[in-house]
Every structure is written in structure tokens, then in C-alpha cells.
């Protein structure tokens, strides 16, 4: 299960693998700070010939093991950042948040075991819309935006064991951190930049961390990230999901930041005429550059948004003769998406 000619995707030698209950199957992705592995429960006393069969029977028990990148194992700042994410994840239990099964803060390589979501991230689906110039039916976009918003509301109101609000600010709500399951569910992932009351690190002067195209404009002026910043990021995601276009898109980071300050933001219904103006209006409010003009709380936004849910007849009309959202996500996962 470790680096071999037949399985080169496992990057750790066996003596470095830190998780005693799961064994790696393959590397899913890696960033500068972490490696993510698909893993299954450890199989003891099995012959080499038996392992593929056993693994197939455990398909429902697949998990993701996220490790601190080995080259950062001695870096205190990286370990603190990873530990802060673990401590937050262990308090989160919601259908729109990835579930944490177990975690280990100490040891040579801290790790967290999370549920494995079969599907794709929102960025893949958005890229398909860009490539085909074919936005989703607005009712499917509504489902995605609603799931993201439900997860965000939960985060903003999450509490600890003593029922004290954790004060969570996500700070990195972006397409790569929104997973879409083949069952049509929405899951928020990756809370490495989130701030909360159980964190150890100090974040002053840290406002420009995150994905530039989804940063709130006030962060460019060294303001601290707040829940209003998260609401702006939701507005960008919703705008892009409904229009099939990128809102702030430029070849260089400086140009993106300039767009965040200056680019006119057209209402969604002026780009996609199928979208009801009432929905478009709430997205536009979330995108106010003056944060005092945005909805003051994510739960107030969610309440207004839910009141505008499409009717069954609207869903039927919008999606007639088109793939379901679940079919689109399945196709994205398989790399065979069609308009």
C-alpha cells in the first residue's frame, strides 16, 4: 500500500503513515500544506491476492485521510494551522459540512479522517458551464446555492460542548471547497483558514489569505474578515453558478484585486433571463461592496432565500429534457459531461 512500481501514488513510506485504523489506497490531491488520500479500513491477516476483493467489499467504508505535508512536520506555524482545523472540524455536524470521523493532533504527522464524497467540486461544474457556454437550469443553480448557504449558516452558528458560539468565519468559501455528491448533496470542506474561538494562531495582518476572486472588498483595505465577508463570497459563488460565468477573472492577481474594487456587477437576471428577479436581487445584496449594505446575518439571508424556493411546476419547466443535477455531477466525476 506504499510506494511501489504498481502503486506510485502513495507518497509516504509505510513507517511514516500515521493513521492506525485506515490504510491508503491512492493519493487524491496535495497542496503546499497537506496531502489527501483515499483510504479504507486496515485489513489484517490478508494475503496479497485477497486484498483487492476485500477492498471492493469495503467500498462504503472509504474515507479521506488528510495529512499535514511531511516537509512541514517540524514547522510550528503549519502544525498550529492544521491543529486549528482539526479542533473546528470536531465540533461540526451538519449535512452540508464534511464529517470528521477521527483525528490526531500530535505525533510526527497530524491527520484527520473525513467522509469520502463521490462526486466533483463546484469548480469542475463551473468550468463545464464556461466551456459549453451553457448555464445550469436556474432551479439546479438554486439547489447548489441553497446548500452552500445552509452550510454557511450552520458554520456561523456552530457551538461547542457548552453551547457557546464558536464565532466561526470561513474565510475561504470558493468553488474548490464546495463538493457536490452524486446524490445531489452539497458539502463544504477545508477549514484551514477559518477563524474560531478554539484556534491557537494569531491572524492579525492575515486578511488576504484565501482565493482572491472570492475575497470581500473590505479585506483589500486590511479590514478583518467577518461573517459579512463570507456572505460576499457566497454572493460570488451564487452569481457564477446562476450565470455560468466568472465574476472576477483576470490573468494576474493584481488585476483580480482591481476588479474586486471597481468592476461593475450586473444582476444575474440580466445575464440569465430565466432567473427570477427576486433571487437575483438577493444575490446582488450579498455582493454589495459596502459591507454595511449586505444582509447583516447569513441566517436572515437564508430565510429570505428559502422563501423564494422554486415550485414543482417551475422545476419541471426549467429542467424539462435536461440532465438532472445528479446526472451532471456523475458525468463531471467521470469526465464525460455533456450540455
Q: Is 224 left (phi over 0), alpha (psi -120 to 50) or beta?
A: beta
Helix/strand/coil for 125: helix
Phi and psi torsions of 201, nearest 5°: -70, 165
Q: Which candidate in 172, 190, 274, 281 is catalytic? A: 172
Q: How many CA atoms lie within 13 A of 138 on its CB side?
A: 21
Q: What is the DSSP string of 203-218?
A: -TT-TT-S-GGG--GG
- What does the alpha-carbon distance between residue 11 and residue 195 come to, in Å, rounded to a whole number? 30
**Where in the chain does DSSP place strands (E)?**
22-30, 34-41, 63-68, 100-104, 111-115, 119-121, 178-181, 186-188
CB distance 186 to 179 below 8 Å: yes
Could you give the angle at which helices 138-157 and 227-243 cross, rounded to 10 degrees?
170
172 is catalytic: yes
Residues with catalytic roles: 172
Amino acid at each position: 500500500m506504499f510506494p511501489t512500481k504498481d502503486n506510485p501514488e502513495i507518497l509516504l513510506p509505510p513507517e511514516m503513515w500515521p493513521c492506525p485504523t485506515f490504510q491508503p489506497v491512492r493519493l487524491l490531491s496535495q497542496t503546499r500544506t497537506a496531502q489527501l488520500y483515499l483510504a479504507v479500513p486496515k485489513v489484517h491477516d490478508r494475503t496479497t491476492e485477497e486484498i483487492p476483493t476485500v477492498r471492493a467489499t469495503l467500498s462504503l467504508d472509504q474515507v479521506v485521510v488528510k495529512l499535514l505535508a511531511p516537509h512541514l512536520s517540524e514547522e510550528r506555524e503549519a502544525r498550529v494551522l492544521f491543529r486549528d482545523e482539526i479542533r473546528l472540524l470536531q465540533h461540526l455536524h451538519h449535512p452540508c459540512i464534511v464529517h470528521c470521523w477521527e483525528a490526531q493532533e500530535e505525533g510526527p504527522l497530524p491527520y484527520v479522517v473525513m467522509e469520502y464524497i463521490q462526486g466533483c467540486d463546484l469548480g469542475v461544474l463551473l468550468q463545464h458551464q464556461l466551456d459549453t457556454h451553457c448555464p445550469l437550469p436556474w432551479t439546479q443553480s438554486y439547489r447548489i446555492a441553497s446548500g452552500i448557504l445552509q452550510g454557511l449558516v450552520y458554520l456561523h452558528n456552530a457551538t461547542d460542548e457548552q453551547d457557546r458560539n464558536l464565532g466561526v468565519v470561513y474565510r475561504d468559501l470558493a468553488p474548490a471547497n464546495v463538493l457536490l455528491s452524486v446524490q445531489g448533496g452539497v458539502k463544504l470542506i477545508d477549514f484551514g483558514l477559518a477563524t474560531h474561538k478554539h484556534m491557537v494562531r494569531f491572524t492579525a495582518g492575515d486578511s488576504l489569505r484565501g482565493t482572491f476572486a472570492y475575497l470581500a472588498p473590505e479585506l483589500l483595505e486590511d479590514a478583518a474578515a467577518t461573517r459579512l465577508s463570507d456572505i460576499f463570497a457566497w454572493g460570488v459563488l451564487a452569481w457564477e453558478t446562476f450565470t455560468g460565468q466568472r465574476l472576477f477573472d483576470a490573468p494576474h492577481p493584481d488585476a483580480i484585486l482591481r476588479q474586486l474594487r471597481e468592476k461593475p456587477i450586473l444582476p444575474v437576471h440580466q445575464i440569465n433571463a430565466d432567473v427570477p428577479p427576486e433571487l437575483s436581487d438577493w444575490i446582488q445584496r450579498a455582493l454589495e461592496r459596502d459591507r454595511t449594505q449586505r444582509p447583516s446575518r447569513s441566517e436572515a439571508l437564508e430565510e429570505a432565500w428559502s422563501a423564494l424556493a422554486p415550485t414543482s411546476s417551475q422545476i419541471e419547466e426549467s429542467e424539462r429534457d435536461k440532465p438532472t443535477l445528479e446526472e451532471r455531477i456523475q458525468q463531471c466525476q467521470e469526465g464525460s459531461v455533456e450540455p
